Amino acid sequence: MSPGQDPGLEPGVIDELMAVARDAATAAAGLIRAATGDQDDRPAVASTKSSPTDVVTAMDRAIERHLREHLAKVRPQDGVLGEEEDGLRAGSSGLTWVLDPIDGTVNYLYRIPVYSVSVAVVAGDPRVPGAWTPVAGCVVSVETGETWTAGLGRGSAVDGRPLSIRTDPDGPRELSQALVATGFGYRAERRAEQARVFAALAPVIRDIRRIGSASLDLCMVAAGQVDLYYERGVNVWDMAAAALVVIEAGGVVTGLAGRPLGERTVLAGEPGLCARLAEALVAAGADDFAEDREAARGG
């Protein structure tokens, strides 16, 4: 099962799941806002994960706990996978909630007001690239309250306004006219290679945006605030809800060079323009990192 594939759910069921996702993400964002609104201090780092700059705050953990408790009450039959707690809690329905309590934790840490709560429900196994499809999702930008929603076959919207990816009547724009969002991983070795790819891409695009939240990057693609997005190493919880927002707006979210979503690099945008970016990324070596060669050698 891959993104956009039909898991055979009735439209009414998808609408209910959209409502659950929206209510859960909105309530969680409200909790974060209420707790951080008038604090001048930066939130504290509770611990680190893949590198010293990959941080977790007490808020990440508290919000994930809150979301899990809420979903256990309203959807006890479904599984849950979240960023901050290890492993998948299996369910019996074939559906799994995929949670990022704060996407853009470093922005949150520095009080840059660009971070989100992302809540998606997927069919299939969200741990395996290409084995899941998002069914419903909601991304709430915590500090602005902007709310993106999507349901499979039900369209996507921001604050209730339907979204539709901009397509140019005369065919896809040149890359030189495209504003491209991207992100960088937390590990230095990967980041050095990402910088190498970016150096090759920079001269052929309009400009770059490093927003700091993959889910918001994708939502901005759906809303036409950037034209394209690509990034290596994005986790399923960063993208599951927002990928559906893009797909339902008429865009594509895909792996590079025919790879499934979640393996190596993700790219998103209007289909024709996305194809141009894919070509440029492959030419820039985005599908050939030292970590890939090591993995192929079994390292």
Interface contacts to ligand IPD, rule CB under 6 A: 83, 100, 103-105, 183-185, 212-214, 231, 233-234, 238
The site partner of 244 among ligand IPD, Ca ion, none (C-beta below 5 to 8 Å per kind) is none
Tell me if 107 sits within 8 A of 57, measured CB to CB. no
Query: Measured from the CB atom, is 7 or 129 closer to ligand IPD?
Result: 129
Query: Measured from the CB atom, is 14 or 109 closer to ligand IPD?
Result: 109
Taking contact as CB under 5 A, which single stretch among the options 20-28, 99-107, 169-177, 187-195 is the one that binds Ca ion?
99-107
Work out whether 83 is an interface residue with Ca ion (CB under 5 A): yes
Least distance to ligand IPD from the beta carbon of 175, Å?
21
Residue 142: what are its φ and ψ, rounded to 5°?
-60, -50
Least distance to Ca ion from the beta carbon of 238, Å?
7
Work out whether 217 is an interface residue with Ca ion (CB under 5 A): no
Query: Measured from the CB atom, is 23 or 54 closer to ligand IPD?
Result: 54
Least distance to Ca ion from the beta carbon of 105, Å?
5
Distance CA 134, CA 28 (A): 20
| Beta-sheet pairing, 207-209 with 179-182 | parallel
Work out whether 64 is an interface residue with Ca ion (CB under 5 A): no
Residue nearest to ligand IPD (CB): 183
